[in-house]
Amino acid sequence: MTKADFGIFSCTVKNRFEEVAKEEYSLVQINVEVDSPVLVGERLSLSCSVTNPVRTLEISWVDPHGHKNSGGVTVQAADQHRGHWTFILNDGSTEKIEKVKVAVIDLLPPAPVLPQFTSTSRPVTVPCSLSANTSWEEVQSKGVLQVGWNFYPPTPLCDQSSLLSLSLEVGKQTWVRQTEGMLQPATNPRNGDLSLGRRLGRTEDAGDYECFMKFQNGAILSRTVRLEVLQILASPGTQLTEGQHLKLICTTGRSLPPDLRVLWFPPSESSLPAASTSAHIHIPRVGRADSGTWRCDLWRREELLTSAELLLRIDPVENSHVWRWLTVFIAAAILILLIVLFVVVQRRRQRTRRQRRPRRLCQCKKTGQHGLKLTAKPRHHKMEVEQLLSLSGSALAQAVSSLLETPGLYVFSDILELPNVRELENGPHAPVYHLLHLFAYGTYCDYKEKAASLPELTPAQRNKLRHLSIISLASNLKCLPYSLLLQQLELKNVRELEDLLIDAVYCDIIQGKLDQRNQQVEVDCSVGRDLGPNELPNIVSTLQEWCTGCEAVLCGIEEQVSRANQYRESQLKVKVQVETEVSNLQKTLKASAASPSSGPAPAGGASNQDADQPAEPRDPASSQEPRQPGKKSSKVKGKH
Residues of the chain with CATH 2.60.40.10: 27-104, 107-228, 236-316
Q: Which residue has the higher pLDDT, 21 or 336?
A: 336
B/e letters for 113-139, b = 16+ CB within 10 Å, e = fewer, are beebbbbbbbebbbbbbbbeebebebb
What radius of gyration do the chain's Cα atoms show?
A: 45
Within 10 angstroms of residue 633's Cβ, the number of other Cβ atoms is: 15
pLDDT for position 256:
84
- State yes or no: pLDDT of 296 exceeds 90: yes
The domain 236-316: what is its CATH number?
A: 2.60.40.10
Query: Could you give the 3-state DSSP secondary structure of residue 168?
Result: strand
Query: Could you give the 3-state DSSP secondary structure of residue 145?
Result: strand
- State yes or no: pLDDT of 271 exceeds 70: yes
pLDDT for position 7:
65
DSSP letters spanning 308-322: EEEEEEEE--S-HHH
pLDDT > 90: percent of the chain:
15
Contact yes or no for 475/454 (Cβ under 8 A) = no
pLDDT for position 624:
41
- State yes or no: pLDDT of 207 exceeds 70: yes
Residue 580 DSSP label: H
Model confidence pLDDT, tens digit, residues 92-102: 667 778 888 88
What contacts 493, CB < 8 A, 6 or more positions away? none
- State yes or no: pLDDT of 22 exceeds 80: no
pLDDT > 70: percent of the chain:
82
The domain 27-104: what is its CATH number?
A: 2.60.40.10
What's the mean pLDDT when you consider all of the chain? 79
> Per this entry, what is the length of the chain?
640
- State yes or no: pLDDT of 18 exceeds 80: no
- State yes or no: pLDDT of 117 exceeds 90: yes
pLDDT for position 157:
56
Residue type, 8: I
- State yes or no: pLDDT of 621 exceeds 60: no
pLDDT for position 10:
75
From the list 472, 440, 433, 427, the residue with the least C-alpha distance to 454 is 433
The domain 107-228: what is its CATH number?
A: 2.60.40.10
Model confidence pLDDT, tens digit, residues 542-583: 888 888 888 888 888 888 888 888 888 889 999 999 999 999
Question: Any idea which of 18-22, 348-352, 514-518 has the lowest mean pLDDT?
Answer: 348-352
pLDDT for position 3:
65
What contacts 427, CB < 8 A, 6 or more positions away? 393
Cα maximum dimension of the chain? 186
Residue type, 64: P
Contact yes or no for 284/243 (Cβ under 8 A) = no
Model confidence pLDDT, tens digit, residues 384-413: 666 777 778 888 888 888 888 888 888 888
Contact yes or no for 510/523 (Cβ under 8 A) = yes
